[in-house]
Amino acid sequence: MNRLHDPKIYSFASDNYSGIHPKILAALNTANEGHQSAYGADVYTAALQDKIKQLFGEQAQAYPVFNGTGANIIALQSLLPRWGAVICAESAHINCDEGNAPEYLGGMKLFSIPTADGKLTPELVAKQAWGFGFEHRAQPAVVYISQTTELGTCYTVPEIKALADYCHQHHMKLYLDGARLSNALVTQNTDVKTMITATGVDMLNLGGTKNGLLQGECIIAMHGEQQEAMPYLRKINAQLGSKMRYLSAQFLAWFEDDLWLQLAQHSNAMAMRLANALADIKEISLTQKTEANAVFAIVPKAICERLHEQFHFYDWNEQIQEVRWMTSFDTTAEQIDTFVAAIRQTIATS
């Protein structure tokens, strides 16, 4: 096959735009020879289960799936009674970026809460955590948070623990969408046992697609009570891979020598390089703290339109002229500097 794209073109639209890390490609090639049992009964998935237990604790169980939307639906279904509802931030991925999949495919009610920084607190959750025992209202059963948030901010370990404690006091579960968990771990300078296991998170999705993997997410059930339903929910939601060894092998290579954290460290550093370079440009104002690999800024419309002619990025909130710039594991310092120079040149000639 001939290459159909120009590999020199890079983007600040999403870390999903990036390619696959060479070590992940090599792992796929290693796992490719010969035959292995299907549907997760292979040696690579068994090794992944051992690794997840090592990282998250002996009760943890891994369920590799194809994508994040599927992971969120399956995980939330396993935590919800049929009459249950999910409390989330208004900006949450399940509320804004998964179409109506949670409602249509997952059959769940979403109670959303406006937040300034994408983060929930027990006080905010309390605005929707009411009506327990009232048959005319869907029953709050799960609180959904993402790490990092859709606004690029990170929950601290004490913040997650406070949410988990509140959930459990009100007989609810805490689910963490970890599509960019590796970026948050690096920012918080901590590990998963501290951030996830010790805080009381009930279930999470560990995402790798945005950080060097070809494809694949991994639902991690932290307690045995949720694990009975997971195989069946994964199957009926069309997320059970027959050649699961290829999903599992990617994660094994990703964890090896802490590659997942190294890649996240780099993408975070590139975002901070961009944010710092923009700090003295009076025409641009940052709207969120740059805590991971996302930079949010308000950019005058005329300048934004000209930048779009050269670079791919998302207009996040057109009403206030807010944009989002994402960096990836393969973003280079030269690319950041070129982008900043283009911003300065555009402003100077506008």
pLDDT digits (tens, 9 = 90+) for 306-316: 999 999 999 99
Tell me the pLDDT of the chain averaged across its residues: 96
The single residue listed with the structure tokens 């799936």 is 65
What is the architecture, at CATH level 2, of domain 23-257?
3-Layer(aba) Sandwich (3.40)
Tell me the C-alpha distance between 152 and 324, whole Å: 9
The DSSP line for 101-147 is: HHHHTT--EEEEE--SSS---HHHHTTT---TT-TTSPEEEEEEEES
Ranges of each domain in the chain: 23-257, 259-348
Q: Which two tokens stand for residue 254?
A: 């990703």
Question: What pLDDT is attached to residue 350?
Answer: 80
Question: What pLDDT is attached to residue 225?
Answer: 80
* Same fold flag, 23-257 and 259-348: no
Count CB-CB contacts under 10 A for residue 59: 13
Residues 6+ away with beta carbon under 8 Å from 175? 75, 76, 79, 86, 142, 143, 144, 145, 201, 202, 203, 204
pLDDT digits (tens, 9 = 90+) for 161-220: 999 999 999 999 999 999 999 999 999 999 999 999 999 999 999 999 999 999 999 999
Q: Which two tokens stand for residue 62?
A: 């891994």
Question: What pLDDT is attached to residue 70?
Answer: 96
Strand pairing class (322-326; 294-298): antiparallel
Collapsed DSSP state (helix, strand, coil) of residue 18: coil
Q: Which two tokens stand for residue 212?
A: 């060097």
CATH superfamily placement of domain 259-348: Aspartate Aminotransferase, domain 1 (3.90.1150.10)
H/E element holding 316?
A: strand 314-317
Q: Which two tokens stand for residue 346?
A: 């555009």
**DSSP H helices in the chain:** 22-32, 43-56, 68-79, 93-96, 101-104, 122-125, 157-169, 181-188, 192, 224-227, 230-236, 245-255, 259-278, 301-308, 333-348
Q: Which amino acid does the sequence have at 269? A: A
Q: For residue 148, say if its preceding peptide bond is cis, omega within 30 degrees of 0.
A: yes
Q: Indicate yes or no: pTM above 0.75.
A: yes
Question: What pLDDT is attached to residue 224?
Answer: 82
| Residues of the chain predicted below pLDDT 50 | none
What is the signed CA dihedral for 236, 147, 331, 296, rounded to 10 degrees? Answer: 120
